[in-house]
């Protein structure tokens, strides 16, 4: 829970009438809500639960709407019966009500967040089995607010919506529909006595420095600082920033430096990161001592993450989405060049690298260009791989395994026949490729991101699955590749190669590459690796045939080619894209080399909060401020 919602009053806070914008009619009193204090989730609604006709929670920025939504979700889950609708907390920023029905959007988001649901997500929505707790209507583009409210007025199932007060009232005024039966409550600003009790509770040194400031606010309640202290977030930031005895909160009263509430809030948001990363020795009983990061450097790293979240319209710092923080030209160049180097080496070996054959540059260049362009094309499109985990649950999975094994075996047989390998070898290739494809049944179980203990656990699970998948493909393709180069590839050594042999081999390679590319990257993989593998297949019967190069050369080619394919399979997984993204961004100084450790440290410092397998900035306003701040701010 964010500390901003833990401002505990010394006395009972003042109560205020809450305007009901639904059943009670605009302007009529519907109830009362306490000011800025922790309350049981759902207590603001009749019976401590979601009203039958839905609810709307309004409040100013930093008032605690997201925290209330989270607490309500947890409370509903805790007391849920098997027959009750399932509460789901989602943010509204990814929904466009003009192009996607609310039920379609909700089903899609459920399938994305909980992949194990599969096609059942749509059924849960249509049957009203979901209680949607939709946080942050105001985070959608302003032009969509009225349309969103109109759409939500007809949703199937229970609904709770949070929104900033001004934006909700503007949307209602422009749209004419206001969730006609919903109970609407508004979170009160923090009262000065509550803020005073919270700030003075930091200890005698804090009391000595804060008391004169608070006394003046009591006498002059219209000062910019008094207005800023109405926000739980700002009260918490002020206490954090001015805890050190070397600081003086009296500077916040300087109306020359801080003439408005916005100036006060901007100062507190800007000062929070340097305060959080102030160098201080760790206590002797600290389980995990904080690492010492320079404040300016930490600010710049957090700024990049915040800007990426802002561009992606999300709050979640998910390591598997890091690829999209790398520019398109950079990732095309990075993957394209790496692919060109490793596959170019394999092609050079196939063409007689190190021997007196003059054709090896042709082979090396052909492999490098074909697979370099393929890698660049795939990463130009930026694959979105979700993390998975290894789950060796054999019961009920055999039909899917055998279906995939059969498809993989057909690919392997086509590849072996195209290479002109002996029939027994072709059968072995079919079995090997079939196993490599079939094993994905147990390597592709979606990771339960919302249920794991930390992002590091999700990373470890996906890393294991990616490496096992890479090993499977390496073992499947090393042997046939080595056979194709190291021994005569046609059963009759004296066979004269004709155009038909080259075409058949190219088609076999293209078919195998397209099928494996589809498994890795979808349709873009079909195009990219189908063409690249066709080039490699056609060169089997190229100028250096017959490929009687010896066992040593065959082993070298098979090993390099198999490992190259294994690397591509790893790059098709979330962990693979994370590795290359982190490498590039750390090389540029945009992020630390040990990113997960940095995020864990930021969580310990209170800069981030953890939500299952992802991190989030402790408040959306902190994210927005960092996204718009300048490099090197401190």
pLDDT at 1: 31
Pick 287 or 254 by higher pLDDT: 254
pLDDT at 214 over 50: yes
> Residue range 80-94: average pLDDT?
83
3-class SS of residue 51 = coil
Which of the four pLDDT bands, split at 50, 70 and 90, describes residue 44? very low
Which of the four pLDDT bands, split at 50, 70 and 90, describes residue 10? very low
282 to 272, 355, 475, 632: CA distances (angstroms):
19, 62, 48, 26
> Residue range 84-105: average pLDDT?
85
pLDDT at 167 over 90: no
**What CA–CA distance (Å, rounded) separates 459 from 473?**
21
> Could you tell me which residues come within 8 angstroms of residue 219 by beta carbon, excluding any fewer than 6 positions away?
none
Of 537, 550, 475, whose CA–CA distance to 509 is shortest? 537
Ranking 50-54, 67-71, 214-218, 403-407 by mean pLDDT, the lowest is 50-54
pLDDT at 593: 92
**What CA–CA distance (Å, rounded) separates 49 from 29?**
20
Answer whether 0.85 is exceeded by the pTM: no
- DSSP E strand boundaries for 165-283: 183-186
pLDDT at 397: 65
pLDDT at 247 over 50: yes
pLDDT at 495: 55
pLDDT at 30 over 60: no
Which of the four pLDDT bands, split at 50, 70 and 90, describes residue 73? confident
* Percent of the chain whose pLDDT exceeds 70: 76
> Residue range 513-539: average pLDDT?
83
pLDDT at 251: 92
Average pLDDT, the chain: 77
> Residue range 70-93: average pLDDT?
83
Pick 589 or 393 by higher pLDDT: 589
pLDDT at 103 over 60: yes
Supply 514's token pair: 């397209």
Which of the four pLDDT bands, split at 50, 70 and 90, describes residue 7? very low
Pick 134 or 419 by higher pLDDT: 134
pLDDT at 281: 58
- Which range, 124-138, 253-267, 616-630, is most confident? 253-267
CA angle 303–305–310, rounded 5-degree value: 90
H/E stretch holding 204: helix 204-219
pLDDT at 69: 84
pLDDT at 516 over 60: yes
CA angle 83–89–91, rounded 5-degree value: 150
Which of the four pLDDT bands, split at 50, 70 and 90, describes residue 555? confident
Pick 392 or 477 by higher pLDDT: 477
- Which range, 170-174, 359-363, 388-392, 420-424, is most confident? 359-363
> Could you tell me which residues come within 8 angstroms of residue 401 by beta carbon, excluding any fewer than 6 positions away?
438, 439, 441, 442
The burial of 268, by beta-carbon neighbours within 10 Å (0-12 exposed, 13-18 middle, 19 or more buried), is given as: buried
pLDDT at 582: 92
pLDDT at 302 over 90: yes
> Residue range 110-134: average pLDDT?
82
β-bridge partners, 611: 614
Ranking 93-97, 131-135, 455-459 by mean pLDDT, the lowest is 93-97
pLDDT at 34 over 80: no
> Residue range 565-571: average pLDDT?
86
Q: Residue 290 has what DSSP assignment?
A: P
Of 609, 2, 585, whose CA–CA distance to 307 is shortest? 585
pLDDT at 288 over 70: no
pLDDT at 581: 92
Ranking 21-30, 274-283, 496-505 by mean pLDDT, the lowest is 21-30
Kindly report the backbone phi and psi dihedral angles of residue 30, in degrees, each rounded to the nearest multiple of 5, phi listed first: -115, -20
Kindly report the backbone phi and psi dihedral angles of residue 309, in degrees, each rounded to the nearest multiple of 5, phi listed first: -65, -40
> Residue range 593-619: average pLDDT?
87
Q: Which residue has the tokens 């066979």?
A: 495
> Residue range 405-409: average pLDDT?
78
């Amino acid at each position: 829970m964010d500390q901003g919602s833990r401002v505990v009053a010394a006395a009972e806070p003042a109560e205020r009438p809450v305007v009901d914008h639904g059943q009670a009619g605009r302007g009529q009193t519907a109830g009362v809500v306490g000011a800025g204090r922790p309350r049981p989730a759902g207590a603001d609604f009749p019976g401590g639960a979601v009203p039958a006709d839905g609810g709307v929670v309004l409040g100013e920025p930093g008032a605690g709407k997201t925290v209330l939504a989270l607490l309500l979700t947890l409370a509903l889950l805790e007391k849920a019966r098997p027959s009750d609708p399932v509460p789901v907390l989602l943010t509204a920023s990814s929904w466009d009500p003009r192009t996607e029905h609310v039920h379609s959007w909700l089903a899609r988001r459920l399938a994305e967040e909980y992949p194990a649901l599969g096609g059942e997500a749509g059924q849960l929505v249509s049957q009203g089995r979901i209680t949607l707790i939709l946080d942050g209507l105001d985070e959608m583009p302003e032009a969509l607010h009225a349309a969103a409210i109109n759409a939500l007025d007809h949703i199937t199932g229970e609904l709770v919506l949070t929104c900033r007060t001004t934006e909700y009232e503007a949307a209602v005024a422009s749209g004419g529909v206001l969730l006609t039966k919903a109970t609407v409550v508004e979170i009160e600003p923090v009262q000065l006595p509550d803020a005073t009790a919270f700030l003075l509770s930091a200890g005698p040194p804090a009391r000595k420095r804060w008391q004169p400031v608070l006394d003046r606010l009591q006498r002059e309640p219209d000062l910019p600082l008094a207005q800023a202290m109405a926000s739980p977030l700002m009260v918490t930031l002020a206490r954090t920033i001015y805890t050190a005895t070397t600081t003086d909160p009296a500077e916040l009263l300087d109306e020359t430096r801080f003439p408005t509430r916005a100036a006060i809030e901007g100062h507190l948001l800007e000062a929070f990161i340097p305060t959080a990363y102030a160098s201080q020795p760790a206590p002797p009983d600290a389980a995990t001592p904080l690492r010492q990061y320079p404040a300016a450097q930490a600010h710049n790293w957090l700024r990049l993450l915040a800007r990426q979240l802002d561009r992606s319209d999300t709050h979640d710092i998910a390591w598997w989405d890091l690829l999209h923080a790398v520019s398109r030209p950079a990732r095309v160049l990075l993957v394209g060049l790496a692919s060109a180097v490793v596959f170019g080496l394999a092609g050079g070996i196939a063409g007689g690298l190190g021997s007196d054959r003059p054709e090896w540059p042709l082979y090396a260049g052909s492999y490098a260009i074909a697979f370099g362009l393929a890698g660049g094309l795939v990463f130009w499109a930026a694959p979105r791989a979700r993390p998975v985990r290894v789950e060796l649950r054999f019961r009920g999975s055999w039909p899917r395994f055998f279906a995939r094994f059969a498809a993989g075996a057909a690919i392997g047989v086509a590849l072996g026949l195209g290479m002109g390998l002996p029939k027994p070898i072709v059968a072995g290739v079919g079995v090997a490729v079939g196993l490599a494809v079939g094993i994905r049944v147990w390597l592709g179980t979606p990771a339960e991101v919302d249920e794991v203990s930390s992002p590091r656990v999700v990373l470890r699970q996906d890393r294991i699955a990616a490496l096992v998948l890479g090993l499977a493909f390496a073992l499947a393709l090393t042997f046939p590749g080595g056979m194709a180069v190291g021994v005569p590839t046609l059963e009759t050594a004296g066979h004269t190669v004709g155009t038909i042999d080259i075409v058949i081999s190219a088609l076999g390679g293209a078919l195998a590459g397209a099928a494996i590319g589809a498994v890795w990257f979808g349709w873009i993989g079909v195009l990219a690796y189908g063409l690249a593998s066709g080039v490699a297949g056609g060169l089997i019967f190229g100028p250096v045939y017959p490929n009687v190069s010896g066992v040593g050369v065959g082993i070298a080619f098979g090993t390099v080619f198999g490992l190259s394919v294994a690397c591509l399979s790893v790059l098709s997984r979330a962990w693979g894209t994370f590795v290359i993204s982190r490498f590039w961004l750390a090389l540029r100084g945009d992020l630390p080399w040990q990113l997960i450790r940095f995020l864990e440290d930021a969580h310990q410092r209170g800069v981030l909060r953890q939500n299952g397998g992802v991190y989030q900035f402790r408040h959306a306003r902190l994210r927005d401020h960092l996204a718009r701040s300048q490099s090197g701010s401190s």
